[in-house]
């Protein structure tokens, strides 16, 4: 059973769009909700206009204290509002200090969080490199399951509604890929969701550095092996009380196949594992989970298993 949810907030309306999802999950499962904010006081803009001589006598700790007090009040207001909507649930909040990712990870361990729910811009390219992303950093470093909510529009003003009737779970046949299953099963059983297991078969094989189309018989054999694999996984999940079906598709791009299946199937949430690649390995190899995150407007549950390579 889902018992503890953590929701990182940054004080913005954008970040607060994670709250309806945490509320819906808590309502369905009885889970406690912890609202968290990492204190990161930025230098006031009026001070940035001062000359070095005008800094004399300025105590920046005063600004930090004011910021922390404002954020404590903010968290208490959000906590009170959530308590009014979920009077029978344990709702609390915490103001954290330190590097954002490390502070959130540490707090998640301390409270025994089973799921972190937060919004993300899902930026790409230079925008992402310049602006940074706490969610992106957690994807690369954290082994806590992350439920990431992306806006439906570029301005970040419209978001999907919290619904968990149908989960799409892409699997690649690896132990790492199946690392998402315990959390997906936990959610499906708690929420009464049906699950579609999705496996993509490539129509190519690599000869040197060049992809070569598979003969028709080989592609069909790969499909049959994929179906047998999903059947085995489905039987395991059915034994755990989950309504599940399998679906195999031949497609040159796993990420594109997943995104197309999401639209076709009317999926409410995509759940998948990520290797958490960083640096050049990520730049060269890419990441299916990363591409799905950037292209999917449905909520995405990402799990980085302990054995996943970084």
List, for residues 93-104, the tens digit of each pLDDT value.
999 998 888 999
Q: What percent of the chain has pLDDT over 70?
A: 84
Is residue 66 over pLDDT 80? yes
Q: What is the mean pLDDT of the chain?
A: 85
Crossing angle of helices 181-191 and 216-238, rounded to 10°: 50
The residue with greater pLDDT, 73 or 67, is 73
Is residue 209 over pLDDT 70? no
Instruction: Give CA–CA dist 256/193, Å, rounded.
Output: 24
Whether residue 187 contacts residue 271, with contact meaning beta carbons closer than 8 Å, is answered with: yes
Helix (H, G, I), strand (E, B) or coil at 6: strand
* pLDDT given for residue 208 in this prediction: 56
> Which of 50-59, 154-163, 194-203, 291-300 shows the lowest mean pLDDT across its residues?
50-59
Instruction: Give CA–CA dist 44/27, Å, rounded.
Output: 40
Is residue 123 over pLDDT 80? no
* pLDDT given for residue 286 in this prediction: 46
- Mean of pLDDT values over 128-132: 35
Tokens at residue 188, please?
């499906």
* pLDDT given for residue 166 in this prediction: 97
Q: In the chain, what is the straight-line distance between the N-terminal and C-terminal CA atoms, in Å?
A: 29
pTM of the complete model: 0.86
**Structural domains in the chain plus CATH codes:** 1-53+60-157 (3.40.50.620), 163-310 (3.40.50.620)
* pLDDT given for residue 145 in this prediction: 95
- Which residue bears the tokens 């040159």? 252
* pLDDT given for residue 131 in this prediction: 33
- Mean of pLDDT values over 24-52: 76
Instruction: Give CA–CA dist 115/79, Å, rounded.
Output: 18
Helix (H, G, I), strand (E, B) or coil at 304: coil
* pLDDT given for residue 283 in this prediction: 45
Instruction: Give CA–CA dist 7/114, Å, rounded.
Output: 11
pLDDT tens-digit series, residues 226-260: 999 999 999 999 999 999 999 999 998 999 999 99
* pLDDT given for residue 120 in this prediction: 87
Is residue 309 over pLDDT 60? no
């Amino acid at each position: 059973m889902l018992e503890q949810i953590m929701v990182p907030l940054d004080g913005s309306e954008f970040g607060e769009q994670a709250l309806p999802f945490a509320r819906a999950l808590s309502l369905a499962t009885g889970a406690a909700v912890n609202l968290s904010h990492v204190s990161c006081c930025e230098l006031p803009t009026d001070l940035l206009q001062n000359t070095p001589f005008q800094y004399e006598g300025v105590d920046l700790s005063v600004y930090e204290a004011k910021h922390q007090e404002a954020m404590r009040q903010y968290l208490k207001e959000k906590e009170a509002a959530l308590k009014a909507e979920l009077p029978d649930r344990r709702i609390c909040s915490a103001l954290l200090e330190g590097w954002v990712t490390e502070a959130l990870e540490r707090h998640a361990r301390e409270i025994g969080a089973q799921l972190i729910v937060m919004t993300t811009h899902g930026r790409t390219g230079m925008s992402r490199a310049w602006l940074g992303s706490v969610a992106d950093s957690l994807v690369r470093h954290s082994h806590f399951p992350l439920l990431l909510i992306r806006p439906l529009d570029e301005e970040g003003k419209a978001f999907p509604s919290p619904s968990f009737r149908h989960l799409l779970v892409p699997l690649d046949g690896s132990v790492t890929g199946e690392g998402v299953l315990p959390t997906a099963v936990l959610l499906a059983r708690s929420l009464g969701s049906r699950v579609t297991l999705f496996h993509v078969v490539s129509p190519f094989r690599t000869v040197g550095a060049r992809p070569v189309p598979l003969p028709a018989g080989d592609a069909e054999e790969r499909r049959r092996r994929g179906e047998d694999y999903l059947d085995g996984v489905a039987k395991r999940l059915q034994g755990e009380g989950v309504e599940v079906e399998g679906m195999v598709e031949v497609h040159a791009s796993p990420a594109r196949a997943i995104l197309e299946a999401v639209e076709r199937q009317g999926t409410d949430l995509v759940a998948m594992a990520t290797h958490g690649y960083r640096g050049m390995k990520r730049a060269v190899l890419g990441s299916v989970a990363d591409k799905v995150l950037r292209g999917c407007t449905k909520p995405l549950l990402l799990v980085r298993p302990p054995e996943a390579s970084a």
